[in-house]
């Protein structure tokens, strides 16, 4: 997959779909401000059934909402936006995150900025970034299970006791490299991250920060037994595969959990399509890093 920096914008934005962070009744003021400014432009706002319960409004099934909406909006933190991006992935609609959380690496519009940003959005003063995602395939003799991961896939031990051993394999057509044994990770587990996810669990585990539009796979061991183990960054055309004889838990974006003992292996590739993220034209990733990580603070 090759990340495209200049993504085609919707010709006209006539409708938007909305998802709120679950069980967050206090987000109603965000909804009202958003609804009011969209109504000024005659833009219809659809709300998912789950979110509508907390707003006392009529809601739509998510699939119907995704189909009818020109753009999709989440109100919450990065986790809410990631959940929306995964559920709506097949519809390939641009996503806007309004930040009502803490860090907000992905959701960069605040409550106070809703009106001004919607004005810019309707004036075509915005950009769309195409964020790379991972295609995950859990291999089994009775049938494979396919998912996508926006941030990361974590292979982890099921309990605090003991360690696990993970066999890692890699292949690349471009590098004329057939499938071969890359490493055996022994420790608490392994993180396979996208560049977008590099500032999530990967960062906490000592992995590198990678610019989000980079095409790469990041492999970061979690508390490895050997101090010589270090994170590895692979080109996006690589395919990686992992297996383990130990009981190993697979966590996708911190939201879906599987036990690897029910599968032969897990295979990970770069997905052919990315996720379209709406951002301000003046959004600077390095300014975001400095603000969120307090770089340069005394």
Give the domains, in start order, of the chain with CATH numbers.
15-132+274-293 (3.40.50.10330), 134-270 (2.60.200.30)
Q: What is the pLDDT of residues 42-52, one digit of tens each?
A: 999 999 999 99
Instruction: Find the mean pLDDT for residues 231-254.
Output: 96
Active site residues: 78
Q: What percent of the chain has pLDDT over 90?
A: 80
Predicted TM-score of the model (pTM): 0.93
pLDDT of residue 266: 98
Is residue 45 a contact partner of residue 35, using CB atoms and an 8 Å limit? Answer: yes
Q: Which residues contact 151 (CB under 8 A, 6 or more apart)?
A: 82, 193, 194, 196, 197, 200, 201, 253, 254
Tell me what pLDDT residue 6 has: 52
Q: What pLDDT does 227 receive?
A: 87
- Kindly indicate the confidence band of residue 298, based on its pLDDT and cuts at 50, 70 and 90: low
Return the pLDDT at 2: 47
* Structure tokens belonging to residue 28: 């109603």
Mean pLDDT in residue range 276-292: 91
What is the mean pLDDT of the segment spanning 157-168?
Answer: 94
What integer pLDDT is reported at residue 147 of this predicted model?
96
Residues 60-118: pLDDT tens digits?
999 999 999 999 999 999 999 999 999 999 999 999 999 997 767 898 898 899 999 99
What's the mean pLDDT in 17-30?
91
The mean pLDDT of 169-183, rounded to a whole number, is 92
Of 80, 106, 87, the residue nearest 24 (C-alpha): 80
Please report the pLDDT score of residue 1 as a whole number: 45
Between 208 and 1, the more confident residue is: 208
The pLDDT value given to residue 102: 73
How much of the chain is helix, strand and coil, in % rounded to 5? 25, 35, 40
At 166 the pLDDT is 98
With a cut of 70, say whether residue 53 has pLDDT above it: yes
How many CA atoms lie less than 13 Å away from 1 in the CB half-sphere? 24
The pLDDT assigned to 3 comes to: 46
């Amino acid at each position: 997959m090759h990340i495209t920096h200049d993504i085609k914008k919707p010709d006209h934005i006539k409708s938007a779909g909305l998802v709120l962070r679950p069980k967050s009744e206090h987000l109603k003021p965000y909804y009202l401000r958003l609804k009011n400014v969209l109504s000024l432009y005659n833009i219809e706002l659809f709300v998912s059934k789950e979110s509508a319960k907390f707003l006392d409004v009529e809601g739509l099934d998510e699939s119907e909402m995704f189909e009818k909406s020109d753009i999709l909006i989440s109100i919450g933190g990065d986790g809410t936006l990631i959940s929306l991006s995964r559920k709506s992935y097949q519809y390939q609609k641009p996503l806007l995150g309004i930040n009502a959380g803490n860090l907000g690496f992905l959701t960069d519009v605040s409550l106070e900025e809703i009106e001004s940003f919607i004005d810019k959005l309707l004036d075509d003063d915005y950009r769309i970034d195409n964020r790379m995602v991972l295609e995950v395939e859990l291999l089994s003799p009775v049938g494979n299970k396919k998912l996508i991961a926006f941030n990361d896939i974590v292979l982890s031990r099921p309990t605090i006791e003991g360690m696990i051993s993970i066999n890692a394999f890699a292949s690349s057509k471009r590098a004329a490299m057939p499938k071969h044994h890359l490493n055996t990770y022994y420790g608490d587990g392994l993180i396979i991250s996208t560049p977008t996810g590099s500032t999530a669990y990967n960062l906490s585990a000592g992995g590198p920060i990678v610019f989000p539009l980079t095409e790469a796979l990041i492999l970061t061991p979690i508390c490895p037994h050997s101090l010589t183990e270090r994170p590895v960054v692979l080109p996006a055309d690589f395919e990686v595969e992992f297996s383990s004889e130990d009981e190993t838990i697979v966590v996708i974006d911190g939201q879906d959990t599987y036990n690897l003992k029910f599968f032969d292996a897990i295979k990970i590739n770069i997905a052919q399509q990315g996720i379209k993220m709406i951002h301000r034209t003046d959004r600077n990733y390095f300014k975001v890093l400095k603000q969120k990580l307090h770089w340069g603070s005394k």
